[in-house]
Amino acid sequence: MSIQWKGVMPAITTQFTPDDTLDLDMFKVNIQAQLDAGVHGLVLGGTLGEASTLSEEEGRKLTKETVAFVAGKVPVLMNIAEQTTKGAIALAKAAEADGASGLMMLPPMRYNASDAEVVTYFKEVANSTKLPIMIYNNPIDYKLLVTLDMFQELLADCPNIQAVKESTRDTTNITRIKNRFGDRLAIMTGVDTLALESLVLGADGWVAGLVDAFPAETVAIYELVKAGKITEAISIYRWFMPLLELDIHPKLVQYIKLASKHTGIGSEYVRAPRLILEGEERARIEKTIIDALAVRPKLPDYKNL
**What would the mean pLDDT of 200-208 be, rounded to a whole number?**
98
Question: What confidence score (pLDDT) does residue 12 get?
Answer: 98
Phi, psi of 186 (to 5 degrees): -70, 150
Question: What confidence score (pLDDT) does residue 195 get?
Answer: 98
Confidence bin at 2 (pLDDT 50/70/90): confident
Confidence bin at 110 (pLDDT 50/70/90): confident
Confidence bin at 17 (pLDDT 50/70/90): very high
Report which of 38, 36, 39, 30 is spatially closest to residue 66, judged by C-alpha positions. 30
Q: Residue 198 belongs to a domain with what CATH number?
A: 3.20.20.70
How many percent of the chain have pLDDT more than 70? 100
* Domain span holding position 82: 7-304
Around 274, how many Cα atoms within 13 Å sit in the side-chain half-sphere? 23
Report whether pLDDT(1) > 80. no
Amino acid letter, 119: V
Residue 2 lies in a domain: no
Q: How many domains does the chain have?
A: 1
ω before 139 within 30° of 0 (cis)?
no
Residue 146's contacts (CB-CB under 8 Å, 6 or more residues apart) are 107, 118, 135, 137, 164
ω before 107 within 30° of 0 (cis)?
no
Residue 245 lies in a domain: yes
Separation between Cα atoms, residue 44 and residue 51, nearest integer Å = 8
pLDDT digits (tens, 9 = 90+) for 265-290: 999 999 999 999 999 999 999 999 99
Residue 1 lies in a domain: no
2 DSSP 8-state letter: -
Question: What confidence score (pLDDT) does residue 143 get?
Answer: 87
pLDDT digits (tens, 9 = 90+) for 156-190: 999 999 999 999 999 999 999 999 999 999 999 99
Count of Cβ atoms closer than 10 Å to residue 15 Cβ: 25
Question: What confidence score (pLDDT) does residue 282 get?
Answer: 98
